Amino acid sequence: MFYQHTRAATFIRSTLHRYSAFAWVQRALRMADLMIGAALFNVRQTGLEKQQAVQEKLAALAVYRETINAHLTASIATGESSPSGLLMPNQSLLYTGRVQACTQLPAMMHLARELCGGQICVTPSAASFDNPEIGKWMDKYYSINENWISDDRRKLLAFGRDLLNSDYAGHRLTFQLFAQSPPFAHLNAVYRNFDFKPALGYVKKAAGLSDRVTGLQAEPRLRKIA
């Protein structure tokens, strides 16, 4: 498509994610919601959500979710004009949110997997529960109380397996990490769009540096050679 048109390819590459990254980060936000819901239901069915160690892990998932949401919200609230005059999300905040959403996703999936427990890999299929001979035993041992009967538990554990512990889960993780661009390119996008000038200004003033360090010093006069 861009054969021997490197300038066109460079332009598309540098502008393609200007808006599409927003929907991409939204996708990660929904993934965080799914992980939180699956993990919280799993610990609530047995009352484990009352343990501080469990609450700590749930809070970590919530922090991950809210960090993504904060970047999305802030990128719109502080939107900026594109080179052609269109309104676009704040690029630095949007790309930073994308980095946070993608780089932390593997750890958050592992955390949610810990909260769901080993039953997501050993729970029998729906066919076992429907089997006339063993279905009654499934109902007996998978039912906890009147609120958590075997059918709901089976569906929840199957959902947790598909979300966190299946071929699809692995595919989804890789897709999130690489489909828009590889992780190093995400960080390069932040580097290109973050405004480093305020930080340099703060340090210049605090350290009492001269204008030379920013290249703003006056041009030196040439010495006359006799």
60-104 pLDDT, tens digit per residue, is 999 999 999 999 999 999 999 988 899 999 999 999 999 999 999
pLDDT of residue 1: 67
Average pLDDT score over residue span 48-71: 97
CA dihedral of residues 70, 71, 75, 76 (deg, nearest 10): -40
Query: Cα-flanking dihedrals φ and ψ of residue 179, to 5°?
Result: -65, -40
> Residue 11: pLDDT band by 50, 70, 90 thresholds?
confident
Would you say how long the chain is, in residues? 226
pLDDT of residue 221: 52
> Over the stretch 115-139, which tens digit does the pLDDT of each residue have?
999 999 999 889 999 999 999 999 9
**Mean pLDDT across the chain, nearest whole number?**
90
Lowest mean pLDDT among 3-12, 178-187, 200-209: 3-12
Contacts 24+ apart (CB under 8 A), 144-149: 144/45, 144/46, 148/45
Tokens of 133: 């001979």
* Residues sharing a CB contact under 8 Å with residue 76, sequence separation 6 or more, in sequence order: 89, 90
> Residue 226: pLDDT band by 50, 70, 90 thresholds?
very low
Percentage, residues of the chain above pLDDT 70: 93
Q: What span, in angstroms and rounded, lies between the C-alpha atoms of 33 and 27?
A: 10
The residue among 10 and 57 whose pLDDT is bigger is 57
Evaluate if residue 214 carries a pLDDT over 90: no
pLDDT of residue 46: 85
Evaluate if residue 45 carries a pLDDT over 80: yes
pLDDT of residue 90: 97
Q: pTM of this prediction? A: 0.85
Evaluate if residue 107 carries a pLDDT over 80: yes
Lowest mean pLDDT among 3-17, 52-66, 141-155: 3-17
* Residues sharing a CB contact under 8 Å with residue 226, sequence separation 6 or more, in sequence order: none
CB atoms within 10 A of CB 164: 27
pLDDT of residue 5: 78
Contacts 24+ apart (CB under 8 A), 87-92: 88/18, 88/19, 89/19, 89/21, 89/22, 91/18, 91/189, 91/193, 92/190, 92/193, 92/194, 92/195
pLDDT of residue 217: 58
